[in-house]
Structure 1
Amino acid sequence: MKKLLFLIFPIFVFAEDFKSLTSKTISEITAQKIDNESLRENEAKELLEHINLQLEEERSKFKSKTLRLSIDASYLDRTLKEKKEEISGIKTLLKSKEAKLEQIQKDLQNEKKHISELENLVKKETSFNSNISTRGYLFAFVEDRRSVSRDQFIERAVGEINREAINQLNGIFVESIKRFDKKLYQRIRTTSSGTAISDSSETTNKIFFSKDRHSSVLIYGTVVDVYPFDEKNSAVSKHGHSDFGVKYVTLIQNQRDIERVFSEIQKEYPKFAIDFSIQNRVEQALKSIEEHNNKSRDVVLEIEKNSLQFKEKISKRVSKRKELLAILQNTEKLLNDEVEELKVDLLLLNREKRNLEDKFFLLQSELIELKRSIKFTRAEMYDRKHSNAVRETKEIAKELFLDIDKSLQKTSKSIETVFNGEAILKDIVNEVEYDKFYVDAKVVPYFVSGTDRTGALVSLSIEFRDRNLPKRKELQKYRFVKIEKGEFMFGSNSGESDERPARNWKIENDFFIGKYEITVGEYLEFAKATKSHFPEWFGNENRFSEVCFDDNCPVVGISWNDAVAYAEWLSKESGEKYRLPTEVEWEYVAKSGLSFDQISQTGKIDDYAWFFENSGGGIHTVGQKEQNPFGVYDIAGNVWEFTSDSYNRNYLTKRASSYKSMRGGDWKTKRFYLRPSNRAKYHQNSKSSSIGFRVLREI
């Protein structure tokens, strides 16, 4: 039975070509071997059945696994396409909604501006045309102490009265009308165009006389147009101290004013005898003035009426516009809500897409490993009469090796057909093209009891290796996520003092970040290659009960210097630039467009992180929790992550230090301290069973 076990589990040798391997095996057949190692026929049949049964089981497992992977790949491929189409549809709809929102916001601005202009029209006071005037009768006294001719005196006096009337009448009139109608007064003050003197022989009275030996007097009365003018005027007396000037000026509007003015003349110049025909002419002028003023008032009232009607129409239009504005504002709010919902939907869909892509990558990796190398062992047996047992056994072995080789070659071709014939498999892995390697050949002689027949059970092990497989390191690129440049709020105003103040920060360049923390398997490849920088637990695993040593667990027990050395080694190996992320880059990825408080919109923190309340007291393999919106796993919790920065309480202080900043928290961190802005420090030479790292690849 020991022989049987040896034959079932042979120790494989290095691959050889068919001829050399089989010739060497056949040459080892000797009479002594036949005498000592021959099996009975039933034992040989049992061994044959066992070897070939294993072969069929391997074939069946291979076909079943390939079928399963093909079905899974087909499902994932279809689901991914559907998800991408859904994302594309959401993006198109989002773009349309954002464009509509932008237009609505422009319409809102225009509508607000239009409403403001209409409201200004309502508030605007009525303007009067300068042709609309009222009239009055001006009386003025002018005295001159100098001795001049009468004509010169009158000419100068009239000019002075004209100037004084222009300067005084508008003010007199405005002050008087203010008591009559405050609103109208305000309009007149802003629209008045001054006073023009109308002088005609029919409406003008000039009385020139000498007051005494040294002074002359001109009493001047005339009809004037006033812009505007009211009946409530009061006289203004002016007593100048110059040699020449207007001493008294007033407007006459009614009989009482006439009596007042003539009384003033009598009082000022008692020696002067008034011709009452002058009073009659003034009274006649007042009648004409009254007719003119009544017409002017009618025009003003009509303007007021039209203005009120216009303003009522404008007010109604403003009300309608405000109703439209309210509708636009409501539409804007609804669109804003829809846009925000679409953004959240897009966020969730992208996360689902990345999950599918991760599954697809794992499936692809599994397929690649499945077809990387396949080893089959097949056995055949045959017996015949012999005159020379050694010679016959060798001949049988030679024939059977050829038969088995042909049979296994057909098996490899059928495997190639499985891969190359499936369209979905061709889409995700290169076509299979196997190279054949002979790794073991065995000849077991047997005899048929009671006969002169001798036989041989021959087994041949062949490994088929795909020549089109990518190198394992090429698969590394799938473990990175592209992070696009942008802006975010770095720090927090509600955290510790070294997190404050929050400030807007701009990421200037795109970069790739590790989808996972660097794993034990990845790190040990580096440590073994360089024969240095081994984790502190390496070779002493029993001392570190909380550490996970699985290849897919994040590596811990390494220093900041070790992490930097790994990034430098990876850069040399790949030709790409790898390094630790800065604190700003790390926090940008961790926040991934969301604040810590917003995580509840896309899932609880428990869905994203291992921490004190849910870790069970130890480290977990990477990628078990949900990825964040940027497609990165375990950015919070599980293990702390080193950054490239020295720790300073004020981040803006760029001072080198042996203490390095770390972020993210670990499996024993409490929930509150998992916030992305939380900062901690650790000495660059020290090692901890809860600190690891992830790397950044520059673009």
Structure 2
Amino acid sequence: MRRLVGIAWPRSRAVAFLAVACALAAPEPSLALDGAGSVQSINDCPAEHCPDMVVIPASPPGLEIGSPEGEPERLPSEKLHPVSIRSFAMSKYEVRTAEYMACVTANACRPPEWLEPGSEHNIETGRGVTYKSMADYIKGDNQPIVGVSWDDANTYADWLSKKTGHHYRLPSEAEWEYAARAGGKTPYWWGNDPKNNGEVMACCRGCGSDRDGVGAFPVDSFKPNAFGIFNVHGNVWEWVADYYCDDYETSPKDGSARQSKSCGKPDAIEGLRVFRGGSCFYEPRQMRAAMRLRNWPAFRNQTLGFRIARDLSP
């Protein structure tokens, strides 16, 4: 997996996004339940490219995150540990290209690596072929944004917070895993295998989809989990808020993000950030709910995007 960069949004598309750029004064949020009445949805500015959010209930007593010792492909850093998580909102989908580009058009976010002016990876003017070969799986408004760093994801969250008056942020590792599992304890929310009784459930290198190893699906593809969240396994990796430490079990017990980059070990590499969930270009074992990867906060890549979280009123 190679390192990525970004480029400039073509003029015609920039004009289109300018038409939907959000004003700082946001309308009242939209709240809804699904047909079964079980998923509460939030959109703080539905006409202005704000992400659809779902309310994640507070964790039940005795919740543990990580993986059990007998789970195939388990890593030492996945030791089970208890957490208690307050209710919060998580984006129903990975952040879309259209949603992120609204921030770029507002001059609040920098372009993704594949649109960065002067970059070799610019799909319009650069020499690089990686993004160009995947253009159809990247440029679409309903595709997950990729080629953005941890820093970029936080800039988007800050912009969204100012725009709506609500606190948007990256989810913590614990929140992400709890939301991804949706009450389950298996490697994937649907069970132990990449497919569910032969049904393709995700995009990964070995999931059985027609885009395995090729490019991501639109964000609303495949089935959602019990919390109403799509594509927590596969499709694109998702940045989370925490600093990375091998000892996952030493993270905060309240489910908040690890704020200290010190891992308490003399040989630890400090300052790395975490991403979760796997991608179309990685194997099924790497999209397990407990699987963790890390890189520097400035890292960008064609397989890496993010999902957003939002605090709820007390």
TM-score under structure 1 length normalisation: 0.32
- Cα distance in 2 for residues equivalent to 1:682 and 1:647: 9
- 1:382-419 CA distances to partner (integer Å, 9 max, x unpaired)? xxxxxxxxxxxxxxxxxxxxxxxxxxxxxxxxxxxxxx
Tell me, which stretches of 5 or more residues in structure 2 are unaligned?
1-33, 117-121, 252-257, 262-269
Q: 1:498 aligns with which of 74, 77, 83?
A: 77
Matched, 1:520 2:97: yes
| Pairwise CA distance, 1:476 | 3.5
Q: Sort the Cα spacing of 1:531 and 1:591 in 2 relative to 1 into closer, same or farther, 3 A.
A: closer
Show the counterpart of 2:278: 665
Question: Is the Cα–Cα contact under 8 Å of residues 611 and 669 in structure 1 kept in the other structure?
Answer: yes
Q: 1:486 aligns with which of 59, 79, 87?
A: 59
Amino acid at match of 1:491: G
Task: Compare 660-669 and 600-609 and name the one that shifted more.
Answer: 600-609
- 1:296-344 CA distances to partner (integer Å, 9 max, x unpaired)? xxxxxxxxxxxxxxxxxxxxxxxxxxxxxxxxxxxxxxxxxxxxxxxxx
| Pairwise CA distance, 1:668 | 1.3
Show the counterpart of 2:149: 559
Question: Is the Cα–Cα contact under 8 Å of residues 627 and 633 in structure 1 kept in the other structure?
Answer: yes
Show the counterpart of 2:139: 549
Show the counterpart of 1:590: 180
Show the counterpart of 2:190: 599
- Cα distance in 2 for residues equivalent to 1:683 and 1:640: 14
- Cα distance in 2 for residues equivalent to 1:562 and 1:666: 19
- 1:349-373 CA distances to partner (integer Å, 9 max, x unpaired)? x5xxx6xx99xx9xxxxxxxxxxxx
| Pairwise CA distance, 1:472 | 1.3
- Cα distance in 1 for residues equivalent to 2:66 and 2:156: 29
Show the counterpart of 1:578: 168
| Pairwise CA distance, 1:674 | 1.7
- Cα distance in 2 for residues equivalent to 1:574 and 1:513: 15
Q: Sort the Cα spacing of 1:688 and 1:515 in 2 relative to 1 into closer, same or farther, 3 A.
A: same
When the two chains are superposed, the root-mean-square deviation of aligned CA atoms in Å is: 2.9
Aligned length: 237
SS of 2:84's equivalent in the other structure is strand
Q: Which has the higher contact order (CA 8 A, sep 6+)?
A: 2
Higher fraction of strand: 1
SS of 1:626's equivalent in the other structure is coil
- Cα distance in 1 for residues equivalent to 2:168 and 2:240: 13
- Cα distance in 2 for residues equivalent to 1:665 and 1:569: 27
- Cα distance in 2 for residues equivalent to 1:600 and 1:564: 32
Amino acid at match of 2:153: A
SS of 1:537's equivalent in the other structure is helix
| Pairwise CA distance, 1:538 | 0.8
Show the counterpart of 2:110: 533
- Cα distance in 2 for residues equivalent to 1:510 and 1:531: 29
Matched, 1:689 2:282: no
Question: Is the Cα–Cα contact under 8 Å of residues 205 and 281 in structure 2 kept in the other structure?
Answer: yes
Q: 2:241 aligns with which of 623, 644, 649?
A: 644
| Pairwise CA distance, 1:530 | 1.6
Q: Sort the Cα spacing of 1:531 and 1:674 in 2 relative to 1 into closer, same or farther, 3 A.
A: closer
- Cα distance in 1 for residues equivalent to 2:246 and 2:160: 31
Amino acid at match of 1:560: W
Matched, 1:510 2:93: no
- Cα distance in 2 for residues equivalent to 1:522 and 1:471: 11
Tell me, which stretches of 5 or more residues in structure 1 are unaligned?
1-78, 85-349, 362-469
- Cα distance in 2 for residues equivalent to 1:520 and 1:601: 31
Show the counterpart of 1:631: 228
SS of 1:599's equivalent in the other structure is coil
Question: Is the Cα–Cα contact under 8 Å of residues 607 and 626 in structure 1 kept in the other structure?
Answer: no
Q: Sort the Cα spacing of 1:607 and 1:532 in 2 relative to 1 into closer, same or farther, 3 A.
A: same
Higher fraction of helix: 1
- Cα distance in 2 for residues equivalent to 1:596 and 1:673: 14
Show the counterpart of 1:447: none
TM-score under structure 2 length normalisation: 0.68
- 1:172-204 CA distances to partner (integer Å, 9 max, x unpaired)? xxxxxxxxxxxxxxxxxxxxxxxxxxxxxxxxx
**Overall identity of the aligned pairs, in %:** 29
| Pairwise CA distance, 1:658 | 2.6
| Pairwise CA distance, 1:682 | 1.3
| Pairwise CA distance, 1:503 | 2.0
